[in-house]
A and B are shown apart, each in its own frame.
Chain A
């Protein structure tokens, strides 16, 4: 490998074997007689190199292969291989992250059921996720119910069955809108804050500091949130439902003239315990989804989303988007199971 022509041979051996006789390399000799070996040994070594190179061995030696191979001196279509490789790496990375995310939930649940629970932080999170969301829930619940009052009355009166406004509003809120909308509200208000807080703690090495004190970050950061959300979301949903039902009555009953007896009476006879339980299960699972996604995104900010304040903001965006999407997707599955 002393001369430039030898390097050329090494680069594209197969090409060279065929056209060796016609080839003139930079030093002016034909490649076979380059170096100190005679043409025959050079040819044999070239041949053996050809059959030993992994690419030649792994590819099937079909006519198409030779045509492709010799139509260009470039090694076998580079961009195609790298595209396949890149998409493979991408897939693997995502599968890996999903695995980590699943493990995160398993660990969080594990540390939730194994005793020492940081009660102070738990109370603090109840206050943050639950108490401080109440006004928002009152507002959104009230307006959702009022809209339902209008829209429900409009649709139902087309069939002349506006007496059923009560059950319609009640069922829509209890089974669907209550859990989903309050979960989305909590995601936007508390979930994003949880991600930002944990993400900043990750960036400023506070999580590392916790770990170095021999303390378990899950116990301090994840479990209190998880427990608090599992308790608060059903309660917030209940508030949402009640306020929404009264909002519906305000419009349907007071404004559009459905009687209070009809509204609440029909509702009581058509809404069953099963419907209420469906809403309860949904809101419980949404609580888990919100804290799972938001804590996860914050916890792995910096590792998955880049460093600094940009990393935190990215993590927060991703957390809100992902948990909102997961809430709606999971809602579909819950509905189809509990239907």
Chain B
């Protein structure tokens, strides 16, 4: 069953055609890596999936509901099951880290304060932020903002997770930990996910499929090993050098 389905999506910004017919499908429980050059529209695509932007043409269907016509209750119901990690974190800067992570629980659930506190502290510990709970977003580093935002996205146990560059700006060790964290969350929650990333070598080890955006269309789509063995020059340029050496089995192949 497909959880996220994008059909023939068109979108342009002031004459700049970002999408020229994107079609993409993500099955329930599947994790997809979305790759592509900077500025090719990966973040914009995630925003279309979340219903923050409306397509000019085409459809976005999430869990059987059309995102672009969903309104009011049904949209809220959809979004309650959705977690989104923004590229810039988007932490509320008037709240400290703890309040930020606790905010969705406080506003959306009827959990007691003690349960919320336990849950939030656990999640912050998972992302390696224990000790910085009471700092404000402006007082912590960019990588810490990212991790706090990740904790906030994961704290509601979402069924669909959209990660916009979860590891960018992190050192390799923390980045690796975050990818492992996402993977273990996936095993626990079985969410359907899209991970936008530039770090092919680590992310490809935990995803089921990879889609590559190029020139406004899905240029390549397949399992990580299929992409590594692709002969398409553009795909090769992207995954060729950075990917070889680790990860999936099917990649030590003809150059």
Question: B86 and A214: CB pair below 8 A?
Answer: no
A208 to B77, CA, bound (A): 16
A205 near B108: Cβ-Cβ < 8 Å: no
Interface residues of B in 28-64 (CB under 8 A from A): 47, 50, 52
Q: Encode contact with A along B80-112: 1 for CB under 8 Å, 0 otherwise.
A: 101010101111111000000001100110000
CA distance A206 to B52 in the complex (A): 12
Determine if B107 and A205 form an interchain contact, defined as CB atoms under 8 angstroms apart: no
Q: Which listed residue, A209, A212, A214, touches B92 by the CB 8 Å rule?
A: A209
A208: chain B residues at CB < 8 Å are 47, 52, 86, 90
How far is the CB of B238 from the nearest CB of chain A, in Å? 27
Is the Cβ of A213 less than 8 Å from the Cβ of B90?
no
Determine how close the nearest CB of chain A comes to the CB of B255; give it in whole angstroms: 40
Q: Is B126 an interface residue (CB 8 A)?
A: no
B80 cross-chain contacts in A, Cβ below 8 A: 214
Asked whether, in the complex, the Cβ of B90 is within 8 Å of the Cβ of A205, the reply is yes
B20 in contact (CB, < 8 A): no
Known A-B contacts A211-B52, A213-B107; the reply to A205 vs B79 at CB < 8 A is no
Interface set, chain A 162-209, CB cutoff 8 A to B: 197, 200-201, 204-206, 208-209
Q: Chain A contact residues: over half helix, strand or loop, or mixed?
A: helix
* A92 CB within 8 Å of chain B: no
Chain B residues within an 8 Å CB radius of A214: 75-77, 79-80, 108
Q: Given that A214-B76, A214-B79, A214-B80 are known contacts, is A209 also in contact with B90, CB under 8 Å in the complex?
A: yes
Chain A neighbourhood of B108, CB < 8 A: 213-215
Asked if B88 contacts A212 (CB within 8 A), the reply is no
Tell me whether A206 and B79 are in contact in the complex, defined as CB-CB below 8 angstroms, given that A211-B52, A212-B84, A213-B104 are known contacts: no
CB distance from A256 to the nearest CB of B (A): 50
By beta carbon, the residue of chain B nearest A212 is B84
CB-CB < 8 A to A204: which residues of B?
88-90, 93
Q: Given B76, B77, B86, B107, which contacts A209 in the complex, CB threshold below 8 Å?
A: B86
Interface size of B as a range: 20 to 34
Residues from chain B with Cβ under 8 Å of A197 in the complex: 94
Q: Count the A residues whose beta carbon is within 8 Å of the partner chain — how many?
A: 13
Once bound together, how far apart are the Cα atoms of A215 and B52, in whole Å?
13
Tell me the minimal C-beta distance from A266 to chain B in angstroms. 50
Q: Is the pair A206, B76 in contact by a Cβ cutoff of 8 Å?
A: no
- Give the residues in chain A near B90, CB-CB below 8 Å: 204-206, 208-209
CB closest chain-B residue, reference A216: B76
Chain A nearest CB from B42 CB (Å) reads 15
Given contacts A204-B88, A205-B86, A205-B88, contact A212 B79 (CB under 8 A): yes
Whether B107 pairs with A212 at a CB distance below 8 angstroms is no
Tell me which residues across on chain A come within 8 A of B93, comparing CB atoms.
Answer: 200-201, 204, 206
- Chain A residues with Cβ below 8 Å from B104 are 213
Instruction: Please report the C-alpha to C-alpha distance between residue A214 and residue B77 in the assembled complex, in whole angstroms.
Output: 8
Inter-chain CA distance A204–B149, complex, in Å, is: 13
Q: Which chain A residues border B103 with CB–CB below 8 Å?
A: 213
A338 to B126, alpha carbons, bound, how many Å?
Answer: 64
Residues of B within 8 A of A200 (CB): 93
Contact B92 A206 (CB under 8 A): yes
- Cross-chain contact A213 with B92 (CB below 8 angstroms): no
* Complex: A213 Cα to B100 Cα, angstroms: 12
Q: Which of B106-122 contact A (CB under 8 A)?
A: 107-108
Q: In the complex, what's the smallest C-beta–C-beta distance from A219 to chain B, in angstroms?
A: 10
CA separation between A200 and B90, bound complex, in Å?
11
Nearest chain A residue, comparing its CB with the CB of B79: A214
**In angstroms, how far is the closest chain B Cβ from the Cβ of A212?**
5
On whether the beta carbons of B52 and A213 are closer than 8 Å, the reply is no
Tell me if A213 and B86 are in contact (CB < 8 A). Answer: no
How far apart are the CA atoms of A197 and B107 in the complex, in Å? 21
In the assembled complex, the Cα of A209 lies from the Cα of B104 at a distance in Å of: 10
Q: Report chain A residues within 8 Å CB of B91.
A: 206
Bound-state Cα–Cα, A209 to B82, Å:
11
If A205-B88, A208-B86, A214-B76 are given as contacts, then 9 extra A-B residue pairs at C-beta distance below 8 Å, sorted by A number, are: A197-B94, A201-B92, A204-B89, A208-B47, A208-B90, A211-B79, A212-B50, A212-B84, A214-B77
- State the B residues within 8 Å of A (CB): 47, 50, 52, 75-77, 79-80, 82, 84, 86, 88-94, 103-104, 107-108
10 residue pairs bridging A and B, Cβ less than 8 Å apart: A200-B93, A201-B92, A201-B93, A204-B88, A204-B90, A205-B86, A206-B93, A208-B52, A213-B103, A214-B75
Cβ-closest 6 pairs across A and B: A205-B90, A209-B90, A214-B76, A214-B79, A212-B84, A213-B104
